[in-house]
Structure 1
Amino acid sequence: MRAGSMPPVLTVFLRLVAMMQRRRGPLIVSVAAGTLAALLSLSPHIAVALTLVELFDGTPDGGRIGLYALLGAIGVVGRHLAYGLAMLVSHRVAYATQYELRRSLAGKLARVPLGFFDQRAKGALRTTLLNDVDMAEDGMAHLVPETLAALLTPLLAFAAMATLDWRLALLVLAPTATGVWLVGALMRRGGEVTRRYQAMSARMAHVAAEFAEGLPTLRSFNQSNQALERARTAFAGYTALAIDWLRRSVAPAAVAQLFLVGNLMLVAPAGVLMHADGMIATDTLIVFLVLSIGFGDLFAGIAGLAHRLTRQVAVLDRIDGILEAPELPVPAMPLLPADGSVEFRDVGFSYGGRRVLDGVSFRVEPGRCLALVGPSGSGKSTIAKLIARFHDVEEGSVLVGGTDVRCMAPDGLHAHVAMVFQDVFLFAGTVRDNIRLGRPDAGHDAVVAAAVAAGAHGFITRLPQGYDTPLGELGQGLSGGERQRLSIARAILKDAPILVLDEATAFADAENEALIQDAVARLAAGRTVIVIAHRLSTIVHADEILVLDGGRVVERGRHAALVAADGVYAALWHAHEEAHRFHHGGGRLAEAAP
């Protein structure tokens, strides 16, 4: 519902209403109760007007004056009761809509290509699912019913005053209408500034988080002053923008507010002149003098409502950015793979306008091992992600078990492929739950067998509650090697015929490296394996090695033949050997050591 020609406030309002359209009945009840509450806010003014009329009468009736006071008090109580009902109903609608919105967002994230998550920071997605949906609650529970009430109530009050005297009613309305127009103009003029303000706020939050998280490293390199200066620059930019907006908006906002509540400026002199000419009765003049003050109060909150609606623009844009993301196409009649083979046929793929793969072709027979090597950025990780259909190829095709992955259901493809990455994801749950991510219905014995095969059973039994030990966020409390062995146990439990490995030992120490290598060897047994190699010593026995450079396959073959060819792979191998000697004491640092 993004209409570029609509004012931002109206666009946001309609978007919020559309989100709650399934609960139209309760929404109408909330708006009606809010409108009644706003009308009842005039009850003290009406009571005062009637009292003054009675007092100006030659023979005031004390009983009627008491009745007017009682009715005014009842109106005040009724106003609060009606407002409470409006808020109760609107919050029930908002919370139910929030629940559905979060479910819609989660469902959408389950249907987008997995590459969608590479293009967005995980923190940004978390912010949208939690903070932005929470902020939308203000729009749904407050802004929609309050805005409708703020518009309906003056119209009803104006209609009632017009029945008394249409001329004075127009005079009551004129300043308010001018004030509403000024508020709209102010909001339209401030739309760009509001977007800059929100962007600056996001930038400041990012810089502040980066500064706080990176402070230990920055201090260890004596760079805390440089980082502090970056933070100061971001804070200063935010402050300057806020002050500039305040300076430019205070005077127009004050004038707009003056018109919104300035009804008495026209009604009082005009009403007195009309009364002097005998055009209106005394009681009519009194009623309009009193009600014109209350009428202005009905509009007093419009500027604040408009500002809050404008702040919802960025919130809803981020929510829509997920809900409107293209989904992964799913075939109507999905096919299943015939075996564990993997084949690329003249695959081309670009990412962010940069050509990542160009004419890549290879085939891995079931039960064989293919290693992918090459400089950073050569396309190795992209090949792994295309196998699991993180993205769809632009040219050529990727086949798993002889079937194009685009002709398979995502669940069917993922059941056929297990992936072990360097960066291990563990969620806040027990050790058992994290391993069973590979097969949620697995029993205890199967979980233990997988952990034993992954070399993880020993350290798990030493944890305070064994397999029932709760893990902190991202597996805090475990070493990198222990987290990696849990991810391997998860892959063993999944028991998929195709295994994609992004060098599991890249960040492991010597002791964990040996344990992980043994676990990987057991995991790979009898499976089709595609391994992204960072340590070339781990893939010397691969059935075939593909050497990538600039997104193209520049060499292929077995280890010995590629070293003898003295090409790109040979250069990488010699660099690997040199690094190995350096690491084990053959380097200059070791020579210089006392």
Structure 2
Amino acid sequence: MAATGTDEAGVKLWPVAGRLIGLMRRRRGLLALSVVSGTLAALFSLSPYLATAAVLMAFFAPQVDWGFVALAGLAGLAGVVAEKALFGLSTYLSHRIAFATQRELRFELAQKLARVPLGFTDARSKGEIRNTLVDEIEVLEDGMAHLVPEVSAAVIAPLLTLGLMLAIDWRLSLLMIAPMLVGLWMMGRMMKDAEGPTRDYLEIQSRMATVAAEMADGIATVRAFNQDAQASRRAGAVFAEMRQMSDAWLDRAIIPGTAAQVLLTSHLMLLGSVGLVMAAAGWVDLAVFAAFLAVAYGFGDLFAAIQGISHRLFRQHELLERLDALRNVAELPPATGTPMIAKAAIRFDHVSFSYGPREVISDISFDLPAGRCLALVGPSGSGKSTVARLIGRFQDPAAGTIRIGGQDLCAIDPEALHRHLAYVFQDVFLFSGTVAENIALGRVGATQAEIEAAARVARAHDFITALPQGYDTVLGERGFGLSGGERQRISIARAILKDAPILILDEATAFADPENEALIQDAVADLARGRTVVVIAHRLHTIVHVDEILVLETGRIVERGSHAALLAAGGLFARMWQAQEATRSFRHATGAPPIPANPALEAAQ
């Protein structure tokens, strides 16, 4: 209950308020000034009630002092002006604090996401992460920007008024407070029952954000398969669950909630009727009763305000818990050794890795000398991409050691590690910005000439210069407006500009049309030359001439060797090769365009 600093779910509210103040600790001066302004505003808010009480007392005097009445009226008016000005100042200051704190929180959490294992973000939807970084931090604005001045106005002023009323007549004070205490007890009982529904409400809100993000991201797929109705039903099911939960809670709470609110807000009703009887009986002076009644208006809806504030603080408590969960996610351990990498050789020594209870790779060992090329093949889910991510230290292995240039990966400074690595993935990410800015992601501070040189090597210069503003063309989200092959060549230009000695390729041409595929292959050939290359291969004919092929199945290396040796062994690789060759033969028989070989890796040898 609010009176003891605990809300409907048994959450201690004062620690929550302390947490909010702690978030604003860097601006203690502004916060103190906001609190002082709010408190003074609360004091001046009593002025009209005190002025009214003074005027009433003057009217009950044998001789009305009109000068005093005028002075009291002017004092009340001046107090109202001062209250509004001070409350506005308190609100202005608290909003400045809130906006600055929100900016810092978002920046802190964005940096946090850059340090946590990639599996953390993989296991969560974009909607859930967006909900935390944008919506939930936005809701914190209520706790920081509004509760500071509002607590002063809604609590301090009524409490001061209560003290004044007790000084005037304690009997009338108790008479007014009695129905409020009953209403407060009823509200407390009702709010205790809200613990589960409140948490369910927040959980469904998060799911609604996820569904909305999925609908926006997947609208093209939904329409392509004519599944608009099904997608709407999926979203509608979540919305219906929210409505049913809300309806059920309203059905349970409407009667006791209404009764409690009536008791909490009708304090003048009992006071007016019983007080008049007491005045008529001579138990209280009529002038005193009139003055008390005027001051009582300043008491306002104290307990109702406290309940509202406690509910909002509980909401802040839920959000702070979610933010704490994100802030407390274990980060990748920091580097412990030398920050430099002398060579580009890669070694896996009995490496295993799991996503939760599911083991993804198990006891993998291999050596890749500097300047050589290794291909990873296997069925979907065999662990190929996980091996590539471990090389980039997006995750740390559960067992075993990964070495680059003879050094334990965990001992290498992360910035130095990523300077030595370049990735070209199937799924290219382009951010909203110019073409030049997207390419320059490969090396901060690159000149325009260097950007254009990298684009030429990536076979991207011609299509870029044909864009409306050339390299200054602003791309939409994820490169909207460019073809898949064009996006891929921009990605290759990034890697060329980065000039890293280790290159990770995830079948860059998998989804390209024949024309773009030839251009991408030529670009990859230049990019791969002289580098240590790890290629995740889906089209086996593109890796015929690599130095070694590792065949993975269910997270283990089941075969290894050259293309010819693996074909001769007649194992999993040979079966995969035969299946793909059958597909190529079918395409040839049906007149479909052939799948070209990949000369890029051959040229890199």
TM-score, shorter chain, exceeding 0.5: yes
1:284 paired with 2:294, answer: no
2:414 equivalent in structure 1: 410
Cα deviation code 1:30-57 (max 9, x no counterpart): 2232233334333322222222222222
Q: Residues 114 and 214 of structure 1: is their aligned pair in 2 closer, same or farther, counting only changes over 3 Å?
A: closer
Q: Which amino acid aligns with 1:48?
A: T
**1:586 offset after TM fit, Å?**
4.2
Q: Which amino acid aligns with 1:109?
A: L
**1:412 offset after TM fit, Å?**
1.1
Structure 2 distance, partners of 1:213, 1:122, is 10
1:363 equivalent in structure 2: 367
Q: Residues 30 and 101 of structure 1: is their aligned pair in 2 closer, same or farther, counting only changes over 3 Å?
A: same
Q: Residues 434 and 409 of structure 1: is their aligned pair in 2 closer, same or farther, counting only changes over 3 Å?
A: same
Greater CA drift, 84-93 or 203-212: 203-212
Equivalent in 11, 20, 25 of residue 16 of structure 1: 20
Structure 2 distance, partners of 1:35, 1:247, is 39
1:573 equivalent in structure 2: 577
Contact conserved, 2:168 with 2:292, CA < 8 A, in 1?
A: no
2:73 equivalent in structure 1: 69
Contact conserved, 1:430 with 1:467, CA < 8 A, in 2?
A: yes
Structure 2 distance, partners of 1:252, 1:23, is 42
1:113 equivalent in structure 2: 117
2:431 equivalent in structure 1: 427
Structure 2 distance, partners of 1:466, 1:63, is 79
Greater CA drift, 167-176 or 90-99: 167-176
Q: Residues 233 and 442 of structure 1: is their aligned pair in 2 closer, same or farther, counting only changes over 3 Å?
A: closer
1:195 paired with 2:202, answer: no
Contact conserved, 1:153 with 1:298, CA < 8 A, in 2?
A: no
| SS at 1:425 equivalent | coil
Structure 1 distance, partners of 2:479, 2:216, is 21
Q: Residues 427 and 374 of structure 1: is their aligned pair in 2 closer, same or farther, counting only changes over 3 Å?
A: same
Q: Residues 189 and 571 of structure 1: is their aligned pair in 2 closer, same or farther, counting only changes over 3 Å?
A: same
Cα deviation code 1:313-365 (max 9, x no counterpart): 44334433332222221135444223100110001111031010111000100
Structure 2 distance, partners of 1:77, 1:5, is 39
Alignment of 1:96-107 (within 5 A): 96-107=100-111
Q: Residues 493 and 531 of structure 1: is their aligned pair in 2 closer, same or farther, counting only changes over 3 Å?
A: same
Q: Which amino acid aligns with 2:18?
A: L
Q: Which amino acid aligns with 1:95?
A: F
Q: Which sections of structure 1, spanning at least 5 residues, go unmatched?
A: none
Structure 2 distance, partners of 1:362, 1:219, is 45
Greater CA drift, 577-586 or 469-478: 577-586
Alignment of 1:255-274 (within 5 A): 255-265=259-269, 267-268=271-272, 271=275
1:151 equivalent in structure 2: 155
2:509 equivalent in structure 1: 505
Equivalent in 322, 346, 350 of residue 350 of structure 2: 346
Q: Residues 84 and 106 of structure 1: is their aligned pair in 2 closer, same or farther, counting only changes over 3 Å?
A: same
1:547 paired with 2:551, answer: yes
1:86 equivalent in structure 2: 90
Q: Residues 511 and 109 of structure 1: is their aligned pair in 2 closer, same or farther, counting only changes over 3 Å?
A: same
Cα RMSD, aligned residues only: 2.8
Alignment of 1:515-526 (within 5 A): 515-526=519-530
Q: Residues 445 and 464 of structure 1: is their aligned pair in 2 closer, same or farther, counting only changes over 3 Å?
A: same
**1:122 offset after TM fit, Å?**
3.1
Q: Which amino acid aligns with 1:428?
A: S
Cα deviation code 1:526-568 (max 9, x no counterpart): 1110110011111111100000001110000000110110000
Following TM superposition, the consecutive aligned residue runs of length 4 or more in structure 1 with deviations greater than 6 angstroms are 2-5, 587-590
**1:24 offset after TM fit, Å?**
2.6
Contact conserved, 2:385 with 2:536, CA < 8 A, in 1?
A: yes
**1:254 offset after TM fit, Å?**
2.1
Structure 2 distance, partners of 1:3, 1:150, is 17
Structure 2 distance, partners of 1:138, 1:4, is 19
**1:470 offset after TM fit, Å?**
1.8
**1:239 offset after TM fit, Å?**
1.6
2:3 equivalent in structure 1: none
Greater CA drift, 90-99 or 32-41: 32-41
Structure 2 distance, partners of 1:28, 1:172, is 34
| SS at 2:394 equivalent | coil
Contact conserved, 1:218 with 1:224, CA < 8 A, in 2?
A: yes
1:436 paired with 2:457, answer: no
**1:216 offset after TM fit, Å?**
5.3
**1:149 offset after TM fit, Å?**
4.3
2:533 equivalent in structure 1: 529
2:312 equivalent in structure 1: 308
Greater CA drift, 82-91 or 464-473: 464-473
Q: Residues 254 and 41 of structure 1: is their aligned pair in 2 closer, same or farther, counting only changes over 3 Å?
A: farther
TM-score (normalised: structure 1): 0.92
Contact conserved, 1:369 with 1:542, CA < 8 A, in 2?
A: yes
**1:279 offset after TM fit, Å?**
5.8
Equivalent in 375, 386, 393 of residue 389 of structure 1: 393
1:127 equivalent in structure 2: 131
2:323 equivalent in structure 1: 319
Structure 1 distance, partners of 2:317, 2:553, is 44
Q: Which amino acid aligns with 1:341?
A: A
Structure 1 distance, partners of 2:391, 2:424, is 13
Structure 1 distance, partners of 2:107, 2:425, is 28
Q: Residues 102 and 222 of structure 1: is their aligned pair in 2 closer, same or farther, counting only changes over 3 Å?
A: closer
**1:185 offset after TM fit, Å?**
4.0
Structure 1 distance, partners of 2:235, 2:280, is 67
- Between the aligned residues of both structures, percent identity stands at 53
1:378 paired with 2:382, answer: yes
Aligned length: 589
Structure 2 distance, partners of 1:5, 1:206, is 26
1:563 paired with 2:567, answer: yes
Q: Which amino acid aligns with 2:300?
A: G
Equivalent in 437, 448, 451 of residue 452 of structure 2: 448
**1:65 offset after TM fit, Å?**
2.2
| SS at 2:402 equivalent | strand
Structure 2 distance, partners of 1:583, 1:147, is 74
Structure 2 distance, partners of 1:93, 1:218, is 43
2:142 equivalent in structure 1: 138
Equivalent in 17, 34, 37 of residue 38 of structure 2: 34
Q: Residues 69 and 272 of structure 1: is their aligned pair in 2 closer, same or farther, counting only changes over 3 Å?
A: same
Q: Residues 338 and 375 of structure 1: is their aligned pair in 2 closer, same or farther, counting only changes over 3 Å?
A: same
Q: Which sections of structure 2, spanning at least 5 residues, go unmatched?
A: 1-5, 595-605
1:247 equivalent in structure 2: 251
Contact conserved, 2:345 with 2:368, CA < 8 A, in 1?
A: yes
Cα deviation code 1:88-139 (max 9, x no counterpart): 1111111221222222222322332333332223343333333322222122
1:489 equivalent in structure 2: 493
2:464 equivalent in structure 1: 460
Structure 2 distance, partners of 1:23, 1:279, is 53
| SS at 1:96 equivalent | helix
Contact conserved, 1:429 with 1:471, CA < 8 A, in 2?
A: yes
Q: Which amino acid aligns with 1:189?
A: D
Greater CA drift, 191-200 or 274-283: 274-283
Q: Which amino acid aligns with 1:127?
A: N
Contact conserved, 2:24 with 2:101, CA < 8 A, in 1?
A: yes
Greater CA drift, 440-449 or 481-490: 440-449
Structure 2 distance, partners of 1:169, 1:266, is 11
Structure 2 distance, partners of 1:303, 1:268, is 25
| SS at 1:356 equivalent | strand
Greater CA drift, 307-316 or 410-419: 307-316
Structure 2 distance, partners of 1:186, 1:406, is 54
Cα deviation code 1:480-513 (max 9, x no counterpart): 0011111111111111111111110111111111
Contact conserved, 2:336 with 2:410, CA < 8 A, in 1?
A: no
